[in-house]
Chains A and B, each alone.
Chain A
Amino acid sequence: MSAEAMTLFSPELAARFDALVERYPVRRSALIPMLLYAQDEVGYLSDAVIDEVARRIGITPLDVRNVATYYSMLRFVPAGRYNIQVCTNISCMLRGGYRIFEQFQERLGIGHKGVTADGVFSLEEVECIGACCWAPAIQVNYDFHDELTEEQVDAILDEYRSRSQKAGSR
């Protein structure tokens, strides 16, 4: 079996990677986008993901780890299906970011970097997510929820929980 055939990734992502490594003057320039896409599909950067990305670029797994460990949005352990990132930088902090964060902690029963037992949610306190004008803001996977009040927290959780149930029953 060829190396390509043994991929961990979906055929679409594998094809995307094949194109990506050829796009830059040096192959390793594709490393960070590849890690992000791989994390989106697999959920986290497992050892197998790191090995395959290294193989596709032609660098060592150590090289991949050197880069990956630098970035806080890349993770090496699975997150929940919905990763809730609560900003507590200055604008959000002034407009109640910490209260929002505490409320999520209470509702979910987990702390920073925690994952709920059912694997649906994970929670993170993060640095600025670029939504200062609409503080306080959170990001759930790639979706923003801004100008939050404490009342909205439950509604947001309920919405994602029902989405999760739908996706789970499918």
Chain B
Amino acid sequence: MADVTFTVDGKKLTAPAGTLLIEACRKAGIEIPAFCYYPGLSLQAACRMCVVRQEKVPKLQTACTTPVAEGQVFITDSPEIAQARKATLQLLLGNHPLDCPVCDAGGECELQDMTFKYGAGESLYAEAKQHREEQQWSPVVYFDRPRCILCYRCVRMCGEGMDVWALGIQNRGVSAVIAPNGGDHLDCEQCGMCIDVCPVGALTSGTYRYKSRPWEMNHVSTVCTHCGDGCKVTLGVRRADDGMEIVRADNRDKSGINGDFLCAKGRFGFDFVHAKDRLTRPLVRNAAGVLEPTTWEKAIRLVAQKFGEAVQAGDGQIGVIGSPRITNEENYLLQKFARTVLRTQHIDHERTADYPTFSRMLAGAEDRAASHREIAAAPAILVLGGNPTEEHPLLAWSLRTNFRLNHARLYLANTQSIRLERQARQALRIPDYDALVRFLAGEDAAMAHVAGAAEFREALLAEESLVVVAGAEYRGASLAALMRWGLCRTGVKFALLSDFANARGAADMGIYPDLLPGYLPLTGDQPLHGEYAGMPASSGLDMTAMVEAATTGVLKALYVVGSDPVSALGVAEGALRRSFVVVEDCFLTATAAQADVVLPAASLYEKTGTVTSCYGDIQMVRKAADVAGVKPDFEIVVRLAGAMGVDVRKLVPFGQSTGVRADMGQSRGAQAGEADRHAVWLTANGLEPRLSPFDPLATLDEVERLVPSYRLDRLNLFAGNETASAPGAGFVPLDSLLGRKDGVVATHPGLFRSGELGRQTETLQKLQAYQEGFHSAAAAD
């Protein structure tokens, strides 16, 4: 809309016509207090804190409901307005208990701040305060009624933002009260958004209440470890007996692709860090066959010795399983360690989406991969398969918000009914996913009996730009067919959903038996092939085959990092006896229980590095918690390499190069006088070498140098924002992926389920049981 000019406190401001005065003022640095106003939600005008004086208008106006227009004159700060706001505060404090010293919100309470600012310290009201006992609405939501100032933020957030509508307002006037949908309890998604938006301490979190004061914590901004959406999360950490403990999680700085959103897993799912069963000492199987605690030195020495013996026996003696939960740097280092030090091509991870095909289809196509921000702002989105509400809560949130605020057109095609249908322009129930692609491509007979299919296709084809979000149902040939259809049309972008925090990163980093980082084939003449000179060039075994080979003793050793193939594949107890199994994990998983050596690993909340969301957004994770005894997988791999007598510099490019800084053309032969390419690259990019072999960012430099899709916007990345990877930038020969087995097994995480990590998170277990209680009760009726 056209810009208009208006005056606020004597300053000329310009904003698009129709902007709310409160927003226009905030952008210009003029603070207007408000309790009920919340950006993105409907207007309430309940709290009367944002009153301002508008010229030629007899009464004070609420800035949150006044759209600006040309020539208006406002005053936002005068004795009259201060008095009005003070009176509002006095009314609010009429019933609000002054229990700030024991209130969770004390120190970060908007009512407290406003009272401080406007000085409503004394009350003229003689009426007795209405006291009500605190209520527990769910394992994580508590309600303290007298503290509530009836701003309705929680009601609107739950209804409009989450589309759950579990909170309401009952009675009226002084007896009005926020009410949960179950009468005295909440039956909802337990996302905790109501707690997050509460300006006071009326709604408090079951995991944080009475644990800490806001100013006692340090706040570390990192990325959630649960699903593949890549939400930023701010962890409040505090010193504990054995390191740093996490006391709460939120996204208080509203940074990142998720803004203020977090789901139950992000907000409450961090207690696995301090779980009772957390491994904190290395375990080695002793002569009696029992896992026995030992020191890191002994464990590392033993593993290095056994791996060394296996390497001596020849190439391909060791199987390596990476993880969709560890950082990009760790996965990259792991595969480099496997290929160049352990000299094996047997490396794989738990695959939850077919990124090789996705990447191959995008190769050479510029700007066809949709980042999360693009999805959140797209005018039209086609979601195929999956159930974002349960499996990708942020995606569902962004789609709802995009629909609500921008009237985005959402098209769904699914074999089942999903919650997002309420926001969809059209939801098509389809018999199978391949048929849909054939139908879109023009084969009418493929969906002849599906009601509404013709209109669905017509509407899609009429869209000028479209983001296609495909679930894990699309893989191999069907994913290729879908993308071929879209790539023929202009303005179509793609995203492929996967299940774990770094599933995309593990795939990008080449944790495949047949693909190198950047989905390069094992042989070729790319820079990477030169660096990994001499690695085994034939395709290795995939995860299933590796575990099988380990049970028969064909593989001398199995190195499992952050993964639990024994549970995933249903391997019998004691089956891995015949090979030397090393497991790095946070918990004694079923695989770890069979291992010869178990190394306690740091979780994603205890390390630094980068992860890539399933939309290809690369983000920094930062060390927040600290648990004594554990080490990051990165450090463990480096130490193993060191103990094996390998030149660690070849694995992690740290320190000032001692090799030739540049090849001036005088040298001859394959490797003779070869320049240190990393040092050359660093110099060319104006970067300093990293100083520590344990610095994962040294490997990040190498990833950026060798993986074409990881061109990092460092300014954004290190500032805590996301930077999009560019899958189209890489060169991937088409034939390298033809006829390849995708090996995808979708895990379908739920709102409270998140694999082994979810099982070890007490709060999520509690929430799962709590919500299942309702559903089984409903089923019994």
Contacts and interface: CB of A to CB of B under 8 A. Distances in A.
B172 interface: yes
Contacts of A62: 165-168, 179-181
Contacts of A60: 165, 181
A65 B179 contact: yes
A66 interface: yes
Contacts of B170: 65-66, 69-70
Contact of A70 (B165, B167, B172, B180): B172
A22 B123 CA distance: 51
A66 B169 contact: yes
Nearest to B171: A69
Interface residues of B, number: 11
A40 interface: no
A63 B168 contact: yes
A66 B165 contact: no
Nearest to B173: A70
Contacts of B167: 62
B181 A70 contact: no
A81 B172 CA distance: 27
B133 to A, nearest CB: 20
A63 B179 CA distance: 10
Interface string B160-198: 000001111111100000011100000000000000000
B377 to A, nearest CB: 29
Contacts of B172: 69-70
B154 to A, nearest CB: 13
A62 to B, nearest CB: 4
Nearest to A66: B168
Nearest to A59: B165
Nearest to A63: B168
A66 B181 contact: no
Interface in A47-104: 60-63, 65-66, 69-70
Most buried by B among A60, A62, A63: A62
A150 to B, nearest CB: 33
Contacts of B180: 62
Contacts of A66: 168-170, 179
Contacts of A61: 181
Nearest to B181: A62
A163 B180 CA distance: 43
B600 to A, nearest CB: 47
A66 B152 CA distance: 13
A149 B172 CA distance: 34
A60 B182 CA distance: 11
Contacts of A65: 168, 170, 179
A62 B180 CA distance: 8
Contacts of B166: 62
A69 B166 CA distance: 17
A60 B172 CA distance: 19
Contacts of B168: 62-63, 65-66
Interface in A17-67: 60-63, 65-66
Interface in B566-605: none
A157 B733 CA distance: 95
B781 to A, nearest CB: 12
Nearest to A65: B170
B294 to A, nearest CB: 57
B417 to A, nearest CB: 16
A65 B169 CA distance: 8
Contacts of A69: 170-172
A66 B180 CA distance: 10
A63 B169 CA distance: 9
Given A60-B165, A62-B166, A63-B165, A70 B171 contact: yes
A69 B183 CA distance: 13
Contacts of A63: 165, 168
Contacts of B179: 62, 65-66
Contacts of B181: 60-62
A61 B179 CA distance: 12
A55 B580 CA distance: 62
Nearest to A68: B170
A50 to B, nearest CB: 11
Given A62-B180, A66-B169, A70-B170, 5 more contacts: A60-B165, A61-B181, A65-B168, A65-B179, A70-B172
25 contacts: A60-B165, A60-B181, A61-B181, A62-B165, A62-B166, A62-B167, A62-B168, A62-B179, A62-B180, A62-B181, A63-B165, A63-B168, A65-B168, A65-B170, A65-B179, A66-B168, A66-B169, A66-B170, A66-B179, A69-B170, A69-B171, A69-B172, A70-B170, A70-B171, A70-B172
- Which 8 pairs of residues, A with B, have the shortest CB-CB distance? A66-B168, A69-B170, A62-B181, A62-B168, A70-B172, A69-B171, A66-B169, A60-B165
